[in-house]
Every structure is written in C-alpha cells, then in structure tokens.
A and B are shown apart, each in its own frame.
Chain A
C-alpha cells in the first residue's frame, strides 16, 4: 500500500505504482521558488521581514517549461488503457508534500483508507504531468501552491512542511483550506489554488474502488430484467421532500 513514511528527516511518500520517474523538478523549482522579497535580505532582518511578508502575502513566480510529450492520441486502446500514458514529473519532495496534503484532506477513517493509501498522489502526478491545456494550467496552480506551502512553512517554522508536527501543519492548513469571502487577502491566492487541489485529490480518492464504495455509488453492475427504479426508502425520502415543498407527483 502506498503511504507516507515518517522518519527523522521528515517524511517520504512511497508509491506502490512503479513509475518511469523523471526528476526534473528540483532544478526548476530551486531557482524559481525563492521568495523574491527575501532575496538579498540580511539574515538578521529576517524575523521582521517575515512578519511584513505574511501581511502582504507571497507567491512563487514559477516559470515551468511546457510539457511537450504527446498525449495518448485519438485512438487509444480503451480496453487496456495505458497505465502510464506520459512520464510523471513530480519530484520525490513534491510527491511527498502532495501525499501529506492529500492525507490531511482525506485521512483514514476507520476501515476507509486515506487518500495516499489508494494512490491519490500518483493520480495527481499523472494529472499535473499531462500534456493537455487544462492539466498544464492545473500544474502551474498546484506546483505554485506546493511551493507556497513550503515557503510559508519555512517562514513560520524555519522548516519544510513535511518536517512540521501535525499541529504546525494544521496551523497552516487552517489558513489556506478555506476559500471564502472572508479569506484574508494574503491567503486568497493560495486558498484558491488549494481549492483546485482539494477537488482533484477528492476526485482521485472517489475514483478508487475504496473511495467509490465510500461515496456510495452502487451502479455499473448489470441488471437482469427491467430497471427496478427507486427503492422504497428512496421514494419515502422523495415523498417527504415533495410534501415539504408543497409539490405532488
């Protein structure tokens, strides 16, 4: 089972899916992920600047090289879909961060596995590594969000997000995981990006067999004879709803 392994250096996401890895991100990110306003600051001024920075907000200006590999084309094998249609591109660090965030979003719940346990990070990796427009847009959004989270973590706790305690991680989460009218200005951008990530991670979870079961979807099974229609219980619920709305069939 895929999982996040905690060790003294922090954590590492370990996938059960064998993937043709290409670790290009480290180089790209370390150059672009620097906090622009901190560059050139004297180490001594740091604490003061961090406070100011938190108010203004920060945002990594990533310039990502476009993904130029081919898609699966207009006539892919649909009976045996390609298991790895393009090279995955997340670095081990980012995959780990994705895994931690995904498990914060969807933790294990009794018998129901967590996001990471059903390989959600691999689905996200496949998504952000895809050559199509929508996915490339999401790639910028999500990678920026990941970098932001690590930057914020470094600013607040002088450590990457993976190295934080759960309490510290949740302190940051509580600032980014709500994207509403009340979201403070400095978190608006990351909260919007996090929303996108949240939907993707949740979708990936529900698409797994365990997640589908947890959601409650019971279709995709052949029925002999006529379609049975709603259950009695479902009809009872409907009838109550109709009564409340003043409607009748």
Chain B
C-alpha cells in the first residue's frame, strides 16, 4: 500500500503529540506515515451539535459504554476499552482512560491550556524532590508562543508568577466571566487569592479553516466547526493537505522491530480489520501513543539486544508515572438563589479559574507540602440532564419552586495539583494477561505520598474558606485527604513513563525526546515529562512535540539520521 509513498518517519498515534509531530515534519517537507489504533473519525459529520440530553438515552447520563455521557466524543474508549484490559497491582487503584479513534483524546479533552513556568521546570533544584527538566523555560517560551498561535488559545497575560506571559498578540481574547465566577473571584480576592481568565484551546476569533466559538454546545461532544481544538479539525487535515502525510487507521502497533545488530528498522502492527500482523520498515520512529501506551510498546519490544525492552537500559521505562492530584468541594450558595436567568453557556467551560497563588508562602516555608495546585470552577445555568441538585422534598408546585431556587446556585471548586514521582507509582507488563491482539497488557502500581495528601488537605480547607466567604454553610466536617483524593489516573494527566533528562542513567530520552539507546526512536507524548506541574499537560505535550519534531526535521535534512 505504501509502495509509492517513500516515508521517512513513522508516527504512532494521532492525538496531541502524534498529530503535532506529524504536522511539523510534513510542513518541513518530510514524508510521514501515521499509524493509529482507533477508527477513522470525522468531527464535521459525527459531532452531535445542539443535541439535548432529552434526545439521548438515559437523559445523556454516563455509564460503562459512554463514561462521560452519551454525547462524549470518545469512541471505543473510556475507562475501559473493549478487548483491551489492563491490570493493577495489589492494593493499587489506577484508572486508565484511553480513546481509540483518529485524534485520540483531543476530540473530547477539556482544552485547558496553561504554560509551565521556569518554577515548574526546575522543581528539584528548589526543593530537592523529583527531577528537573533538561532545559530552561526560556528555551521553551518561543515554542509555547508558536504552539499557542497554531492551536489557538484564548486567555490573557495575567503577569502572575504562576502564569508566564505569552508574546504580544498570541492569545485570543477570552470570553467575559459569568456571575458565579465573578462571585468566586470576589470571595477569593478577599482571601488574597486571584481568579483570572482560564487559557483554553478554543478560538474566539476565526483561524485557518476553523470558525470562532459560537458559545453553545459542550466541547466534550466535539466541535464540528473547529473552534475547540482537536487534531482532527486542525493539524491532521493541515498535514494531509501538504501531501506529506499518510494515515492508516485501525492499525494497532504490536512492537518496534530491530535488525540483527539491535538497530530499530521497522514496526509490526495488527490490522484490526483483518487481525493480520503487518510488518513495515521504518527509518525513524516517533512514539506518541499516549504516555503509558508508548511505554507499554517499548517494554513489549524486547529483543536480544534490548532484553529489558527497547530504550530501557536505564530501567526507567514505566517508572516515574505521575497524574495530577484531584479532589473538589461544592456548596449551595444562597446568594445565587433565584438570580436572573441569562445564557451562561459561554464556551461551556471555565471563563475564570484560580491559578496557584502560594509560591511566596512556599518559599517562606509556610506550607507543609512542596508543589502547587489550581482550582477549576463548576457553576452556571447548565443544560438540564439526568441530575437535579438540591435536597428536594414534597411534590407539586413547591417541588418545582425548590428545584428552580437551586438552579444555577451551586458552586464546585475542583482541585488539580502537582504530584511528585515516587517509587510506588509505576507500570510494568503483565505477562499473564494479553489483549485481543495477543499483546501483553500494562499493569499499574499506585500509592499517593504524604506530599499529595497534605496538598489535598490544604486545598479542601482553602476551597471551604472560599465557599464560606460566598455565604455557604457546611454542616459536615471535611473529609480526610485519604478519602477525598481521587484515584491515580482519574484526572487523565498521566505522564513521566519515559522521562527525559540529562543522562542515559536516570532518563529514557534526551531533551528532544530522542531515546538514549536508539537514536532513531523518539517519544513525543507526555511520557517524556520530568515532572507534572499542576497545569494540565497537553499544551506542553504539543509544544515539546513541535520543538522536538523541528529538531528531528533538521537532523533529517542534514543527514544526521
């Protein structure tokens, strides 16, 4: 099939990392073959725009088939993937969200897109924990600018120490804040905590072939007009238009192949439509199958020269896995009861959020945990669904009155925080269990440390203080951190399984995502993260993929590879 297409690079995966890598290489004139395990997917025709929950089974409520609701754009994925199990170690809880579709999880991600800062890249230098990244923020800043401009990010330069500014003219204007967000901001301000416009990969101005947001239809359903960034309406069609990209869907890569000297020279994938194994040659391989799938692939690509798995002489493949910490606290806010109704859809996610404000207190040693967190806000007059809030009593007229009084009067603060790597959080291959294609599955081990628990405890207290300042009352005591912290993987920011670093001893790749052991194998997903700052990971996945694929393109052009 690929006889007349002389590709130089094979990219595994079409999500945030894979699509950015492929786009960058294709634009630079290199021919790329992309292998994607999921089915082809076209948001233009498949997105359920303007559909109401009432038109869906079960009022749109989620279940094992559609975990985040009937209309969630995720195809053939979620907390479970048919025919593709994974296992967990004793006493370990880990949830692994996967999507099997062109565009991967970018079809339905939350689009929150916050830059990491110098502070974030050099945590270890500061507090001795975890690992530093092998470059400075200044090195990445121009790549963040380029990525933000290409992806389309709305937000503002806040000047806050937790939010590095973008170059002038890069960000698109954010939408106006809504009433409950303003109330949160006012309450937080009284406590000395800022609330500012969220940065989101949502266009508020048209760009390329993509339209600006029209402030309706939840982005998790996908966005047929291309306003909410997903690779299937942007990077992938743009890369295809260069003529330098070919994609094979339903192609589940089984392993990376090596020659008799141990040099990578190809890949084997399962054509899911026929269940046949297909071997293809490859000069350069980019793994972007998502952090834990890429690590699984490396571990499953054992050979005589690579007995611990490919690129694993450091034994760090599958180690250092981090997710974001997650918890939250909500309350009914009497001051919001019966407020005048208006259209609060906006871009259907946070217009304001609370960034990490504690850098200074931390420096002064006033906090008993090392890294930061932010709050995302859950509020608003939402489209009706399968849930109705409030402690409702009785029947008839008074019942409806109670429900209407509660409508739009709840506020939820969701904590997303930085976790540190620890020796109990890792993945390996479970040799005893195979997926439908006969590929050994991943086995996860997980344990939160004191750092995360202390942080969550602090976050719950802070959330309570903010909600109380808004007039909420709490009759129940706060849950303990152990009870409140969500499970590993549940925030869906898994990173670190093939981390980058300064030396082949402690890391799997160099700063360009090039594996130390195999110079023609790159990782361009969140596996390479050396730490997992509280800011959602995907903007940085794409920024690194753009920078590192640009470096790779130069290597190819110069004949270094």
- What residues of chain A have their CB less than 8 Å away from a CB belonging to chain B? 71-76, 78-79, 81-82, 85, 104-107, 109, 123, 126-127, 130, 132-135, 173, 177-180, 195, 198-200, 202-204, 206-209, 211-212, 214-224, 226-231, 233-238, 241-242, 244-249
Contacts and interface: CB of A to CB of B under 8 A. Distances in A.
Among B63, B76, B177, B407, the most chain A Cβ lie within 10 Å of the Cβ of B63
B53 A233 contact: no
A110 to B, nearest CB: 11
Interface string B44-57: 01111011111111
Contacts of B344: 219
B390 to A, nearest CB: 9
B343 A218 contact: yes
Given A238-B339, A241-B183, 9 more contacts: A72-B66, A76-B66, A78-B70, A104-B395, A207-B384, A217-B381, A223-B343, A229-B176, A249-B182
Among A105, A179, A203, the most chain B Cβ lie within 10 Å of the Cβ of A203
B471 A126 contact: no
A217 B178 contact: no
Interface string B392-428: 1111110110011001000000000000000000000
A236 to B, nearest CB: 8
A204 B56 CA distance: 11
Interface in B103-117: none
Interface in B330-380: 335-336, 339-347
B160 interface: no
B561 interface: no
Contact of A202 (B65, B347, B399): B399
Contacts of B392: 195, 198-199, 202
Contacts of B53: 207
Contact of B335 (A75, A230, A244, A248): A244
A244 B39 CA distance: 55
A227 to B, nearest CB: 4
B37 interface: no
A109 B502 CA distance: 71
B261 interface: no
Contacts of B240: none
Given A105-B396, A180-B393, A220 B65 contact: no
A81 to B, nearest CB: 5
B386 interface: yes
A178 B343 contact: no
A206 B71 CA distance: 18
A222 B214 contact: yes
A199 B345 contact: no
7 contacts: A74-B74, A78-B56, A207-B59, A211-B384, A219-B383, A221-B216, A241-B335
A212 B393 contact: no
Contacts of B217: 220
B471 A216 contact: no
Among B63, B339, B400, the most chain A Cβ lie within 10 Å of the Cβ of B400
B57 A81 contact: yes
A203 B384 contact: yes
Nearest to A219: B345
Contacts of A234: 179, 339-342
Given A74-B75, A215-B384, A105 B335 contact: no
Given A74-B82, A222-B216, A238-B179, A217 B394 contact: no
Given A212-B384, A221-B343, A230-B179, A247 B469 contact: yes
Contact of B387 (A179, A199, A247): A199
B470 interface: yes
B183 A212 contact: no
B204 interface: yes
Interface size class of B (residues with CB under 8 A): 35 or more
Given A198-B395, A212-B52, A228-B176, A237 B340 contact: yes
A71 B186 contact: no
Contact of A216 (B52, B56, B74, B407): B407
A19 to B, nearest CB: 13
Interface in B175-230: 175-179, 182-183, 185-187, 189-190, 204, 213-217, 221
A109 B400 contact: yes
A212 B341 CA distance: 13
B436 interface: no
Contacts of B335: 241, 244-245
Given A71-B65, A74-B65, A127-B58, A220 B383 contact: yes
Contacts of B175: 226-227, 229
Contacts of B345: 219-220
A78 B71 contact: yes
B78 interface: yes
A131 to B, nearest CB: 9
Among B346, B347, B388, the most chain A Cβ lie within 10 Å of the Cβ of B388
Contacts of A220: 50, 52, 216-217, 345, 383
B179 A78 contact: no
Nearest to B45: A79
> Closest 5 A-B residue pairs measured CB to CB?
A229-B176, A207-B54, A219-B345, A222-B214, A206-B384
A39 to B, nearest CB: 32
Contacts of A215: 384, 403-404, 407
Contact of B58 (A126, A198, A235): A126
B46 A78 contact: yes
Nearest to A180: B393
Nearest to A191: B393
Contacts of A202: 388, 392, 399-400, 403
Nearest to B386: A203
Given A203-B386, A207-B384, A211-B384, A238 B182 contact: yes
A226 B227 CA distance: 13
B57 A126 contact: yes
B283 interface: no
Contacts of A226: 173, 175-176, 204
B241 interface: no
Nearest to A119: B54
A242 B183 contact: yes
A125 to B, nearest CB: 12
B77 interface: yes
B142 interface: no
